Amino acid sequence: MELDTITAISTPMGEGAIAIVRISGDEAITIADRIYKGKKPLKEVESHTINYGYIFDPETEKKIEEVMVSVLLAPRTFTRENMVEVNCHGGIVSVNRILQLILKQGARLAEPGEFTKRAFLNGRIDLSQAEAVMDLIKAKTDRAMNIAMSQVEGKLSKRIQRLRQALLETVAHVEVNIDYPEYDAEEMTLGILKEKATFVKNDIKKLLQTAQQGKILRDGLSTVIIGRPNVGKSSLLNNLVHDNKAIVTDIPGTTRDVIEEYVNVRGVPLRLLDTAGIRETEDIVEKIGVERSRKVVEEAELVLLVLNYNEELSNADEELFKISEGRDRIVIINKTDLPENIDMVKVKYLAGEDPIVTTSLLLDEGVNELEEAIKTLFFEGELEASDLTYVSNSRHIALLNQAYDSVSDALQAIEAGMPVDMVQIDITKTWEILGEVIGDSVHESLIDQLFSQFCLGK
């Protein structure tokens, strides 16, 4: 495949002490040598070494900056092409100047995600791994990072490949039976077909069972704090944000229509909705409190309903119970440092099965219990194992659902005693759908679209 040489700044703009400019392609080393001066030209150094030197402008011969340059020769590189990485510690201005010089020497500015796209096109990684690279960049918690990492390493790909292999074997077997009956190969009976299809169906189901958790770990559990004015919503928010500093990487080009904040509660990323509303002055909230709550509750996956221990339950409290009925909900009774005026029996009745936690946010009491309740509600134990393959990407989930339907069709055909070659149609379709997860049979337009969501320089 003939691909030109591309370059980009691959560290976040304006942040971090070190900036890296990456170059990838046949000409990477030649281009870098025209603007680099060190002990030896880069074309003479060994692959996978870091070399000290400086960058200069070949037109003026002026020294621009001291740098460390990594030389990585194909094929043992991320893109499987020759790569050069220029590490400089200067600010944005000098990084940009280095980039401009590289462009002048004949490299082209990379599109967002183009380095990863090359890794895919050059067969270094498959599509699900490429998508995982993107998730890795966006990961907000360690756990989300681990999922993405295991996917980059190809765990999901291997699982999918194993399923496809099983399907392919049955298809091949049937073909042999049909085309070469004289070979007298063991007849692919409906019995064997059923066994294989059942194995595939069950494994897809297992993968789909991780999807909800996987998606939440990736995108965050949308959470809303509701309660009457003065019960302690802002205090709770501040407490959560303070204790669980979120890892938030800003992704250029993403717009957020709701104001939200991320917190990481014991490995569960909460995406707190409408936090601006909570922080607004109380008189506004008082007027539109219940109405506004109704709206955000609709978007939320988890509702934290805060009540005041020191006051009697009001109609507004009961209204808030009503609008959040049926959601995953934790009832928080705050201000336990003050005398009890709330009717606990009634609270228990209204809360039903939902966990109730008592807190004094003023004294910082009960917050651990609340965090534990959030974790329990979310993980329910079994899926927490770190070696699990999670499916977290919506595209993968949609495809796995299709594959599940298609293999179910095959099984139904088997049950109905259809001829083997009819069943094979559904089996082949399942094989094709699974191929799309790892990018075996996807359209070029989809590939372009997927990679365009990346950040620049990745």
Q: Does residue 229 interact with ligand GDP by CB under 6 A?
A: yes
CB 265 within 8 A of CB 245: no
- Residues in contact with Zn ion, shown as a per-residue x/- string from 33 to 72 under the rule CB under 5 A: ----------------------------------------
**Token couple for 366:** 């009960």
The answer to whether 232 is annotated as binding is yes
Nearer to Zn ion, 18 or 284 (CB): 284
Cα–Cα distance between 142 and 268 in angstroms, integer? Answer: 10
How far from 455 is each of 137, 212, 258, CA to CA, in Å? 8, 26, 22
Confirm whether residue 205 is marked as ligand binding: no
Binding of residue 235 to ligand GDP (CB under 6 A)? yes
Query: Which residues neighbour 41 within 8 Å (Cβ) at sequence distance 6 or greater?
Result: 33
- Tokens representing 318 are 């009961």
To the nearest 10°, report the CA torsion of 33, 34, 39, 42. 10
Closer by beta carbon to ligand GDP, 90 or else 227: 227
Structure tokens at 402: 């299709």
Closest CA to 7 of 85, 63, 67, 77: 85
Count CB neighbours of 100 within 10 A: 12
Determine if residue 250 is labeled as part of a ligand binding site: yes
Q: Is 251 annotated as a binding residue?
A: yes
Partner from Zn ion, ligand GDP, none binding residue 361, C-beta < 5-8 Å depending on class = ligand GDP
- Number of shown-chain residues binding ligand GDP (CB under 6 A): 17
- Is residue 234 part of the contact set for Zn ion (CB under 5 A)? yes
Do residues 447 and 120 lie in contact, with contact meaning Cβ atoms separated by under 8 Å? Answer: yes
Q: Name the binder of 138 from Zn ion, ligand GDP, none, CB < 5-8 A by kind.
A: none
**Cβ neighbours of residue 15 closer than 8 Å, sequence gap 6 or more:** none
Residue 388 structure tokens = 């699990």
Query: For Zn ion, which residue has the nearest CB?
Result: 234
Nearest residue (CB) to ligand GDP, 110 versus 332:
332
From the list 141-149, 222-230, 288-296, 348-356, the region that binds ligand GDP by CB under 6 A is 222-230
366 sits near ligand GDP (criterion: CB under 6 A): no
Our separate counts of H helices and E strands in the chain read 17, 13
Instruction: Answer yes or no whether residue 230 interacts with Zn ion by CB under 5 A.
Output: no
Task: State yes or no: residue 233 binds ligand GDP (CB under 6 A).
Answer: yes
The residues, any chain, with a CB within 8 Å of residue 260's CB and separated by 6 or more, are 271, 272, 273, 274, 275
Question: Does 238 help bind Zn ion (rule: CB under 5 A)?
Answer: no
The nearest distance, CB 369 to ligand GDP, in angstroms, is 14
Report what 277 binds from ligand GDP, Zn ion, none; CB cut-off 5-8 Å by kind: none
Residue with tokens 């501040």: 238
408 interface partner picked from ligand GDP, Zn ion, none, CB below 5 to 8 A per type: none
Among Zn ion, ligand GDP, none, what binds residue 360 when CB lies within 5 to 8 Å by partner kind?
ligand GDP
Note whether 237 and 275 are within 8 A (CB).
yes
Q: Binding residue per annotation — 22?
A: yes
- Cβ atoms of 3 and 81 within 8 Å: the answer is yes
By the rule CB under 6 A, 303 interacts with ligand GDP:
no
Q: Is 274 annotated as a binding residue?
A: yes
Q: Are the CB atoms for 58 and 100 separated by under 8 Å?
A: no
Tell me if 351 is assigned to a ligand binding site. Answer: no
Q: Torsion over CA of 110, 111, 116 and 117, rounded to 10 degrees?
A: -110
Tell me if 230 contacts ligand GDP by CB under 6 A. yes
- In the numeric block, the tokens 């291997």 are attached to 158
Is position 234 an interface residue for ligand GDP (rule: CB under 6 A)? yes
Q: Is 252 annotated as a binding residue?
A: yes
* Contacts to Zn ion by CB under 5 A: 234
Which residues fall in the annotated binding site?
Answer: 22, 85, 124, 230-235, 249-255, 274-277, 458
Give me the residues that bind ligand GDP (CB under 6 A), please.
227, 229-235, 278, 282, 334-335, 337-338, 360-362
